Structure 1
Amino acid sequence: MSTAAAPVSSLRSGTVLADLIPASRVRDLALVVGGAALTGLAAQLTVPVPGSPVPVSGQTFAALLVGTALGARRGFLSLALYAVAGMAGVPWFAEASSGWAMPSFGYILGMLLAATVVGGLARRGADRSVLRTAGTMVLGSAIIYAVGVPYLALATGMSFGQAVAAGLTPFLIGDALKAALAMGLLPASWKLVGGRQG
């Protein structure tokens, strides 16, 4: 067995992509702030959905990517910073909005939970292969909807069925495309790192 194989396996055991950067408090702070900023930037990539107060945006993809790449703790902190700063007035929610009095705020809360869960799964290797990454993204999206859709119903007075029609169904194709992108991006990143280490 070659000695080159050992560093690769040790890198992959219990680590997330962010762990490959030399550890320091400055690194962790930069990753948390950078993850929040990335989510805020991605949230500005929006497409209105006719009949729905929730636009299609890059926000959910960024939140899941941040959680997966940073791990549960940093992913949670990053999305918490994103949520708190947006509630305080930073206009980086979808369509340059801010505050918490909006029908789509439940999705932001869902992203906070989802980033934490997918980050924990990534530390167990859930972003290393195409199929495992797909499952992780599907679970993360399901968590976002599990919080966002009921919140949308309560905030707007819609029935649950109406909220599903307005706040879930129109987004399924986009979510499939985002999952496909993650399925290529994350495992490829690990292969690239493994190749460089080997």
Structure 2
Amino acid sequence: MPDTTSTAIRASFSPLRLDSRSTATKIAAVLAGTLILAVTSQIEVPMLPVPITLQTLIVPLIGALYGWRLGALTVLAWLVEGAMGLPVLAGGMGGLPFFAGPTAGYLASFPIIAALTGWLAERGWNGRNVLLAFTSFLAANALCLMLGAAWLSTLVGFEKAVAFGVTPFLIGALIKSALGAAILKASVR
């Protein structure tokens, strides 16, 4: 006998219910997601070597709202736009150099953290349980910082990577995680 409970949970995890929508709707969602990422990437606090942006709020939120597959695909599409030179990355930038510079590790982590929050949302770490939603966003932010700092340390050394690529982002990670959980909670019908 099939497990209808897990199927029902997965089918209803997202207020957008994209898993049951047409292909055209899913394509529109991906395009809308890349546009939202492009716009929110422009909201930044310039810092060196890595700016503070809203990306670490929006990337996991897209994963949680879209599901792990479509969320990761949306973020990958946005990264491809950036690699092609479209001005969708932080500060209206784009091009291949950003995928080899100080921000490369953070950018590489984005599809992974979208998939992580989507996967966790499908398993109940969503707006129906705000503490688990907060924890999923916090885990995504921590993974982003770890992968970003790992790459950054190859360019500036471990101590500087932690000092400039992790520490300034810790309070923001807590705030963005709480905000992400609140957005998910508000989206539950």
Instruction: State the TM-score bracket (shorter-chain normalisation).
Output: 0.7 to 0.9
Which ranges in structure 1 are unaligned for 5 or more consecutive residues?
A: 1-8, 194-198
Distance 2:39 2:133 in 1: 23
State the partner residue of 1:3: none
Structure 1 length normalisation: TM-score?
Answer: 0.84
The answer (yes or no) to whether the contact 1:12–1:125 under 8 Å persists in 2 is no
Question: Over residues 150-194 of structure 1, what are the superposed CA-to-partner deviations in whole Å (9 max), with x where a residue is unaligned?
Answer: 11222xx3111210111110011111111111121112211xx1x
Q: Structure 2: where are the runs of 5+ without partners?
A: none
CA distance in 2, matches of 1:160, 1:175: 20
Percent same amino acid at aligned positions?
32
Would the aligned equivalents of 1:92 and 1:98 in 2 still touch at CA under 8 Å? Answer: yes
Aligned to 1:187: 185
* CA apart distance, 1:113: 0.6
Rounded Cα–Cα distance in structure 2 between residues aligned with 1:21 and 1:83? 22
Pairwise CA distance, 1:70: 0.3
Partner of residue 67, structure 1: 63
| Whole-angstrom distance in 1 between the partners of 2:90 and 2:26 | 26
In structure 1, the residue matched to 2:147 is 147
For 2:90 and 2:152, how far apart are their aligned partners in 1?
15
Take 2:178 and 2:64, find their aligned partners in 1: how far apart are those partners? 15
Q: Does 1:90 align with 2:89?
A: no
Q: Can you list the C-alpha shifts for 1:114-163, whole angstroms capped at 9, x where unaligned?
A: 00111011111101212101110111111211221111222xx3111210
Q: Name 1:138's counterpart in structure 2.
A: 138
Task: Give the alignment's Cα RMSD to 1 decimal.
Answer: 1.9
CA distance in 1, matches of 2:114, 2:136: 10
Matched residues in 1 for 2:134 and 2:20: separation?
A: 28
Q: Distance in 1 between matches of 2:60 and 2:173?
A: 11
Q: Which amino acid in 1 is paired with 2:83? A: M
Shift, 1:103, TM fit: 1.3
Give TM-score scaled by structure 2 length. Answer: 0.88
Q: Aligned pair count?
A: 179
Matched, 1:39 2:13: no
Counterpart CA distance in 1 for 2:67 and 2:40 is: 19
CA contact (8 A) 1:71 1:122 kept: yes
Superposition pairs of residues 1-198 of structure 1, within 5 angstroms: 13-14=9-10, 15-19=13-17, 23-49=21-47, 52-101=48-97, 102-127=101-126, 128-154=128-154, 157-190=155-188, 193=189
How many angstroms apart in 1 are the aligned matches of 2:146 and 2:168? 15
Report deviation, 1:109: 0.9
Moved more, 11-20 or 74-83: 11-20
Task: Give me the whole-angstrom Cα distance separating, in 1, the residues matched to 2:62 and 2:146.
Answer: 19
Q: What amino acid does structure 2 have at the position aligned with 1:112?
A: P
